């Protein structure tokens, strides 16, 4: 099993995690006009990079959503980035 | 006897049989060594031609001696004789041979070898129809036979472990590395697949001035005293991502092994090297063995494999072997295979070896074409290999993981440099591979040779098969493997891969590294499937969730079924489903049913932004939901497809309770958490899944309020005080309860939620009140019928992967909701606007007719029929006394009253499209 | 629908224990469990905060679950809902979890059958998967005692996994 680093919990078994999406895709403002092509691109297009990737994952046991940087070929984990700061 | 035990052996005698004959071996033997000690050489038959086979080696690289082994009540197929330690009372049988390996009736197949070459399945048995021949061929193929007996208690332990340095291989290099690591204060673990340590040490006369056994014992003791751990009879069979090594710890015969999942900061590979075979005419005969194998049988088991031995070698290690074997009494003839092709003479055993015009009478041929480092685990880890011309072998090169190879595995074949290298690496220091004194004359298969020359002994792949593959353009090493099946046998090519790819290199005039190797994959040795799942099997593969009220349901005679991951009452009482379910429906419609609805989701969404958030998550408008009110709604995917339906109740200005489908609780919670943290302010929205804190009991039916009265609540639950789709919190017997007017049945319904620990009291109170009034417990199956009578859909049953809310008749938010929500834009794409979309409808057939089958297609067209949709739910309604069905049909909503054809398994019937609401369409009973 | 009532054994007696060499496991009762979520939640509980590998000696404690959530175990009574002054979302979940306590020199070894666990590797959240089930796991009283909270509906499944694993300890 791979080990992934949750920004809050630290290194954990990959089975505690869920892949959400490739990072960097922004949801268009659906209260404005959006073309069919733009919406289809939002829904369906993915980069599927070979090598370094940035992905959004959820650590299911604590619920934290975060960015995971890893290599899609070697499976090496580069690091994780919290989307949120620690509780004040 | 050709092979025999030499004096000096000691060990308790063990009795066993092979192919029905009795033999005696001793403690410490493997089945192979015990049989060799008794002069038995023919231990199996090859896969295709059924040629007699004897063990090539003494350990994991043997492809030939495969046996079914029985001991007591245990019978295991495909045990390699060379790695199965002998136990008293074992009964072994050669697989793929009948009645015995010595006399196999299918041995005659070899006469037809010209028609059975590589790929023959694709060519020889095509006409008139491959399927005519296939059953017979399948019967003849395969190794071993799995008994249908289940082994009680055969359950693999699976444990996580970790260390700083994992040393794989307990030979001299591994022992030296482990000692250095342990004495340097590192948390070290050593893994050795034999029962005892030592490996190649036992083939030496002395090591660093000591007798090998003393040297080994001293190192083992030093390792343990320094805090290191040693696992013997344990095989590291795979290396996985992030420094995880899978180790199988073997137990006694018939006991389940243990899986040790070892996470190691650093891995030292001391896995050694193998003798590779020499490819020559008739090189597959029993009695042709590896040089190292023969020396191992002598050193470890005191078995001399032959008396008149031809020692055939192209490399510098033959001298030591010759000395060792002749000291034990063998007559050795040295043959240099590089000066001319050789040929073995003899059928079930060699009688001679010829080269040029000379014939050498021998009873055994020991061959070594050079050393092949065992780099499988290196490759599992993604490590690269480099070709070494001097050694004519692939050696470990760079590795992305924290891993180093030492000793023979690294091409360091000499003892002194191997020990130095191992000690340096064990401590954690870097080491450069030293120059080697080992030398050999390159010797690879000669394509175009006459006679039959074997490459893969188990799968009967010959040099001619490789030439055939090349002629047919299967020249990539991966194609070569699959087309000829070389390297695909239970030994996974340990003795055949190098010869195979070298032959292809010669044929293609390419270098060996250019041809390359096939992908190495775990497991390195065969392992039982049990090791992969352990406890996670059968019903424990996906443990079912259990209700607080399960004991009540069992006491009431419930049949329990799995629904959405929970074990729930399907129906109650004796008489079977077909009788009980209609009875329960009639009871619930006439008086009332009491139903355990506990698995329903109860996800609280709280916070200053809760309202806006829930409004975004739902298709329906939530901002207008007042506290104390409930609204039915859909959650969509971003593609606009209905993901879940459910009701949301407003508990307060900043508090909502999402009651999603029982089967979707985990999914909905994850969905809410993902959106909460991505695109919203998570400091202002909180999601608490309280589903399992609350048990929920539904009282549904015309007299439901009378039953509720027995609870003596201090709160008014009359029709005006608590109308349909409203909600109150109150107290019952000093315990908070929540009461919701929500209906799954279409009748007056109260959903009463109470903390799980008080569920039993509430259930008993309601049953006590309801039973005298004709009410009773209601199961899932009856509830499903009542839902269908009302056209209340079940997500995933009456909706599919394309169903959008407007297909279900819910159109207002799509047209009018102005704030953003998940899936919003998708509801206006071309496909969403397609007028031919499938819509939910009812389908009716005449009373007394059989009900429609679920999955039946509504069809149109005379010659070529086209499906317009299909039946999703179908029951005989006890309430209406006729069959009813729900279906998704193209343009269904505009086809009310139309008669359509419904096709199922070749038969066509007629049905009428109707509203999906069959019962109480005005909802009078609902709003009682 | 198939009748699976015989496929699954009756729920166990709550007083059942699992005993094996160096190991004893029993069911534990708690008086109250409360989820507290909020931007400052980790600082808004008066009970000792428990992360991994903290050893807590009090029966009243707050397990850290997330950067913005704790669960008070045997904590004070609170009112469910949104506390605007404190910016806290509060939910009573007392019956949502079942508890077990494992003690003995083999307790850690047993847990390692279910999860990759190491007291030398800290983790701020006590929430993890164990035998495939979501639990909150922490050390209690001493080096060889552990407490777990598991969802009530998975109580039987966890018990079965623990007792199957315990068979390998003899």
Neighbours of B, requiring at least 3 CB pairs below 8 Å, are A, C
Interface of A with C (CB under 8 A): 1, 6, 8-13, 15-16, 60-64, 84, 86-88
From chain A, the residues in CB contact with B605 under 8 A are none
Whole-number pLDDT of residue B801: 96
Whole-number pLDDT of residue B143: 78
Tell me if A87 is assigned to some domain: no
From chain C, the residues in CB contact with B566 under 8 A are 153
Q: Please list, residue by residue across B815-850, b when 16 or more beta carbons sit within 10 angstroms of its beta carbon and e when fewer do.
A: eebeebbbbbbbbeeeebeeeebbbbbbbbbeeeee
Tell if the CB–CB gap between B673 and A63 is shorter than 8 Å: yes
Give the one of A36, A42, A58 whose C-beta lies nearest to B673's C-beta.
A58
Kindly report the CATH number assigned to the domain that includes residue A14: 3.30.2270.10
Whether residue B768 has pLDDT greater than 60: yes
Tell if the CB–CB gap between B756 and C152 is shorter than 8 Å: yes
Tell if the CB–CB gap between B242 and A75 is shorter than 8 Å: yes
**A37 inside 8 A of chain B by CB:** no
- Among all residues of chain B, which has the CA nearest to that of A30? B820
Burial of C69 (0-12, 13-18, 19+ CB in 10 A): buried
Whether residue B732 has pLDDT greater than 60: yes
- Among all residues of chain C, which has the CA nearest to that of B573? C3
Whether residue B149 has pLDDT greater than 80: yes
Mutate: best of B399, B615, B677, partner A, most A CBs <10 A: B677
Instruction: Kindly report each contact of residues B578-585 with a partner whose C-beta sits within 8 Å and lies 24 or more positions away, as own/partner.
Output: B580/B779, B581/B779, B581/B781, B581/B782, B581/B785, B582/B782, B582/B785, B582/B876, B582/B878, B583/B878, B584/B776, B584/B777, B584/B778, B584/B779, B584/B781, B584/B782, B585/B782, B585/B785, B585/B786, B585/B877, B585/B878, B585/B879
Whole-number pLDDT of residue B400: 73
pLDDT tens for each residue of B45-77: 998 888 999 999 999 999 999 999 999 999 999
Mutate: best of B531, B546, B686, partner C, most C CBs <10 A: B686
A&C contacts, CB < 8 Å: 52
Please give the mean pLDDT across all residues of chain B: 95
Chain B: closest CA distance from residue C41 (Å): 11
Contact present, C138 and C48 (Cβ < 8 Å) = no
Omega before residue B99 within 30° of 0, cis: yes
Whole-number pLDDT of residue B48: 87
Give the one of C39, C115, C125 whose C-beta lies nearest to A62's C-beta.
C125
**C159 inside 8 A of chain B by CB:** no
Tell me if A41 is assigned to some domain: yes
Rounded Cα–Cα distance for residues B572 and B592 (Å)? 15
Chain C: closest CA distance from residue A66 (Å): 13
> Any idea which of B91-100, B413-422, B555-564, B725-734 has the lowest mean pLDDT?
B91-100
Residue B356 Ramachandran class (φ > 0 left, ψ -120 to 50 alpha, else beta): left
Whole-number pLDDT of residue B129: 84
Tell me if A43 is assigned to some domain: yes
Chain B: closest CA distance from residue A65 (Å): 7
Chain A: closest CA distance from residue C114 (Å): 11
Rounded Cα–Cα distance for residues B747 and B919 (Å)? 10
Rounded Cα–Cα distance for residues B839 and B157 (Å)? 52
Rounded Cα–Cα distance for residues C170 and C150 (Å)? 26
Rounded Cα–Cα distance for residues C135 and C131 (Å)? 9
User: What mean pLDDT is predicted for residues B287-312?
Assistant: 97
Mutate: best of C43, C63, C66, partner A, most A CBs <10 A: C66
Neighbours of A, requiring at least 3 CB pairs below 8 Å, are B, C
Tell me if A76 is assigned to some domain: yes
**B719 inside 8 A of chain C by CB:** no
Whole-number pLDDT of residue B133: 83
Chain C: closest CA distance from residue A7 (Å): 10
Whether residue B383 has pLDDT greater than 80: yes
Residue B511 Ramachandran class (φ > 0 left, ψ -120 to 50 alpha, else beta): beta
Whole-number pLDDT of residue B212: 96
Beta strands, E only, B120-209: 157-168, 188-191
Whether residue B119 has pLDDT greater than 50: yes
Tell if the CB–CB gap between C125 and A8 is shorter than 8 Å: yes
Positions in chain C whose pLDDT score sits under 50:
none
Whole-number pLDDT of residue A86: 63
Tell if the CB–CB gap between C43 and A15 is shorter than 8 Å: no
Chain B: closest CA distance from residue A73 (Å): 10
Residue B415 Ramachandran class (φ > 0 left, ψ -120 to 50 alpha, else beta): alpha
Tell if the CB–CB gap between B242 and A2 is shorter than 8 Å: yes
Better pLDDT: B400 or B640:
B640
Tell me if A30 is assigned to some domain: no
User: What mean pLDDT is predicted for residues B340-364?
Assistant: 94
User: What mean pLDDT is predicted for residues B623-647?
Assistant: 97
Contact present, B629 and B740 (Cβ < 8 Å) = no
Mutate: best of A62, A83, A84, partner C, most C CBs <10 A: A62
Chain C: closest CA distance from residue A28 (Å): 28
Whole-number pLDDT of residue A88: 41
From chain A, the residues in CB contact with C68 under 8 A are 87
Neighbouring residues of B154: CB distance < 8 A, sequence distance ≥ 6? B254, B255, B256, B530
Mutate: best of C10, C29, C37, C94, partner B, most B CBs <10 A: C37
**B39 inside 8 A of chain C by CB:** no
Pairing of strands B593-596, B776-777: parallel
pLDDT tens for each residue of A26-56: 999 999 999 999 999 999 999 999 999 999 9
**B265 inside 8 A of chain C by CB:** no
Whether residue B312 has pLDDT greater than 80: yes
From chain A, the residues in CB contact with C38 under 8 A are 87
Tell if the CB–CB gap between C113 and B558 is shorter than 8 Å: no
Number of domains in chain A: 1
**C30 inside 8 A of chain B by CB:** no
Tell me if A56 is assigned to some domain: yes
Give the one of C37, C81, C113 whose C-beta lies nearest to B157's C-beta.
C113
User: What mean pLDDT is predicted for residues B257-267?
Assistant: 98
Whether residue A87 has pLDDT greater than 60: no
- Output the CA–CA distances (angstroms, integers) from residue B479 to B48, B88, B382, B421, B470, in the order listed: 20, 45, 21, 38, 10
The domain containing residue A62 runs over which residues?
3-25+35-82
């Amino acid at each position: 099993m791979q080990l992934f680093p949750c920004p809050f919990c630290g290194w954990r078994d990959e089975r505690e995690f869920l892949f959400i999406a490739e990072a960097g895709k922004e949801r268009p403002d659906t209260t404005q006009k959006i073309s069919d092509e733009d919406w289809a691109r939002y829904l369906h297009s993915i980069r599927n990079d070979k090598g370094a990737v940035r992905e959004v994952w959820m650590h299911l046991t604590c619920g934290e959503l975060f960015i995971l940087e890893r290599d899609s070929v070697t499976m090496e984990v580069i690091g994780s980035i919290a989307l949120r700061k620690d509780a004040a | 006897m050709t092979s025999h035990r030499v004096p000096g052996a000691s060990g308790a005698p063990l009795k066993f049989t092979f192919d029905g004959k009795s033999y005696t071996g001793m403690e410490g033997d493997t089945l192979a060594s015990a049989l060799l000690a008794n002069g038995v050489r023919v231990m199996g038959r090859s896969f295709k031609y059924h040629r007699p086979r004897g063990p090539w080696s003494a350990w994991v690289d043997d492809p030939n001696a495969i046996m079914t082994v029985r001991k007591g009540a245990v019978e295991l197929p495909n045990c390699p004789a060379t790695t199965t330690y002998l136990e008293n009372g074992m009964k072994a049988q050669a697989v793929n041979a009948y009645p015995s390996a010595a006399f196999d009736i299918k041995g005659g197949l070899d006469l037809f070898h010209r028609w059975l070459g590589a790929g023959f399945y694709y060519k020889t048995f095509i006409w008139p129809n491959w399927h005519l021949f296939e059953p017979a061929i399948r019967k003849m193929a395969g190794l071993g036979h799995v008994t249908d007996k289940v082994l009680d208690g055969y359950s693999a332990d699976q444990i996580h472990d970790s260390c700083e340095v994992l040393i794989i291989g307990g030979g001299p290099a591994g022992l030296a590395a482990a000692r250095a690591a342990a004495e340097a204060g590192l948390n070290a673990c050593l893994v050795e697949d034999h029962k005892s340590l030592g490996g190649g040490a036992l083939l030496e006369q002395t090591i660093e001035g000591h007798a090998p056994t003393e040297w080994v014992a001293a190192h083992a003791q030093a390792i343990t005293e320094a805090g290191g751990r040693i696992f013997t009879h344990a095989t590291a069979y795979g290396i996985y991502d992030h420094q995880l090594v899978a180790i199988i710890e073997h137990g006694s015969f018939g006991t389940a092994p243990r899986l040790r999942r070892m996470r190691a900061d650093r891995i030292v590979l001391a896995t050694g090297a193998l003798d590779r075979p020499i490819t020559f005419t008739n090189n597959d005969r029993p009695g042709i063995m590896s040089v190292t194998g023969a020396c191992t049988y002598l050193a470890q088991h005191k078995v001399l494999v032959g008396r008149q031995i031809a020692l055939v070698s192209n490399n510098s290690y033959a001298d030591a072997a010759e000395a060792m074997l002749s000291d034990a009494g063998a007559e050795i003839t040295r043959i240099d295979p590089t000066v001319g092709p050789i040929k073995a003479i003899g059928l079930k055993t060699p009688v001679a070896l010829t080269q040029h015009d000379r014939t050498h009478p021998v009873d055994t041929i020991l061959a070594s074409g050079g050393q092949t480092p065992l780099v499988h685990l290196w490759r599992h880890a993604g490590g690269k290999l480099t070709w070494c011309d001097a050694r004519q072998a692939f050696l470990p090169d760079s590795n992305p993981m924290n891993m180093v190879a030492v000793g023979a595995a690294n091409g360091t074949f000499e003892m002194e440099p191997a020990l130095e290298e191992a000690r340096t690496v064990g401590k954690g220091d870097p080491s450069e591979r030293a120059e080697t004194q080992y030398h050999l004359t390159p010797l690879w298969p000669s394509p175009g040779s006459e006679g039959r020359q074997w490459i893969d002994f188990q799968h009967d792949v010959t040099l001619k098969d490789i030439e055939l593959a090349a002629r047919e353009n299967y020249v990539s090493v991966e194609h070569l493997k699959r087309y000829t099946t070389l390297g695909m046998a239970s030994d996974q090519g340990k003795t055949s891969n190098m010869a195979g790819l070298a032959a292809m290199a010669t044929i293609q005039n390419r270098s060996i590294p250019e041809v390359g190797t096939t992908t190495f994959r775990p497991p390195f040795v065969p392992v039982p499937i049990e090791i992969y799942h352990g406890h996670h099997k059968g019903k424990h593969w996906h443990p079912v969730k259990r209700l607080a009220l399960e004991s009540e349901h069992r006491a009431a005679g419930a049949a329990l079924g799995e629904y959405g991951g929970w074990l729930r009452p399907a129906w109650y009482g004796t008489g079977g489903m077909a009788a009980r379910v209609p009875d329960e429906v009639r009871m619930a419609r006439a008086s009332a049913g009491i139903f355990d609805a506990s698995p329903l989701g109860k996800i609280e969404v709280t916070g200053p932004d809760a309202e806006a958030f829930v409004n975004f998550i739902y298709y329906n408008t939530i901002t207008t939901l007042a506290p104390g009110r409930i609204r039915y709604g859909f959650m969509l995917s971003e593609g606009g497809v209905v993901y879940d339906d459910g009701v949301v109740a407003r508990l307060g200005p900043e508090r909502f309770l999402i009651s999603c489908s029982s089967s979707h609780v985990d999914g909905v919670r994850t969905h809410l958490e993902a959106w909460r943290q991505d695109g919203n302010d998570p400091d202002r929205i909180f999601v608490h899944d309280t589903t399992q804190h609350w048990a929920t009991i539904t009282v549904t039916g015309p007299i439901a309020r009378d039953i509720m009265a027995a609870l003596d609540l201090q709160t008014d639950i009359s029709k005006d005080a608590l109308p349909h789709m409203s909600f109150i919190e109150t107290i019952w017997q000093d315990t908070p309860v929540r009461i919701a007017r929500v209906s799954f049945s279409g009748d007056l319904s109260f959903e009463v939620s109470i903390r799980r620990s008080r569920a039993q009291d509430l259930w008993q109170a309601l049953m006590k009140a309801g039973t005298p009034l004709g009410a009773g417990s209601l199961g899932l199956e009856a509830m499903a019928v009542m839902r269908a009578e009302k056209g209340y859909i079940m997500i995933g049953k009456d909706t599919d992967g394309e169903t959008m809310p407007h297909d279900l008749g819910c159109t207002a938010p799509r047209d009018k909701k102005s704030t953003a929500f998940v899936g919003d834009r998708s509801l206006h794409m071309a496909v969403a606007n397609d007028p031919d979309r499938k819509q939910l409808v009812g389908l009716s057939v005449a009373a007394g007719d059989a009900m429609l089958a679920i999955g039946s297609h509504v069809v149109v067209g005379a010659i070529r029929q086209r499906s317009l949709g299909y039946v999703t739910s179908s029951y005989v309604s006890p309430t209406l006394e006729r069959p009813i069905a729900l279906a998704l049909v193209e343009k269904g909503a505009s086809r009310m009253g139309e008669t359509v054809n419904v096709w199922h398994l070749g038969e066509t019937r007629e049905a009428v499209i109707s509203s999906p609401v069959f019962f109480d369409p005005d909802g009078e009973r609902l709003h009682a | 629908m198939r009748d699976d009532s015989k496929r699954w054994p009756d729920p166990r007696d709550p007083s059942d224990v699992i005993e094996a060499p160096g190991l004893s496991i029993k069911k534990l009762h708690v008086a109250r469990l409360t989820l507290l979520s909020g931007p400052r939640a980790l600082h808004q509980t008066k009970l000792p905060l428990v992360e991994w590998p903290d050893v807590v000696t009090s029966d009243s404690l707050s397990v850290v679950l997330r950067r913005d959530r704790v669960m008070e175990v045997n904590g004070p009574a609170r009112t469910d809902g949104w506390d605007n002054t404190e910016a806290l979302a509060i939910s009573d979940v007392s019956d949502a979890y079942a508890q077990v306590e494992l003690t003995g020199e083999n307790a850690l070894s047993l847990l390692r059958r279910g999860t990759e666990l190491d007291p030398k590797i800290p983790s701020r959240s006590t929430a993890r998967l164990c035998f495939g089930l979501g639990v909150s796991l922490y050390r209690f009283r001493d080096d060889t005692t552990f407490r777990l909270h598991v969802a009530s509906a998975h109580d039987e499944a966890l018990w079965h996994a623990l007792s199957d694993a315990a068979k390998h300890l003899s």
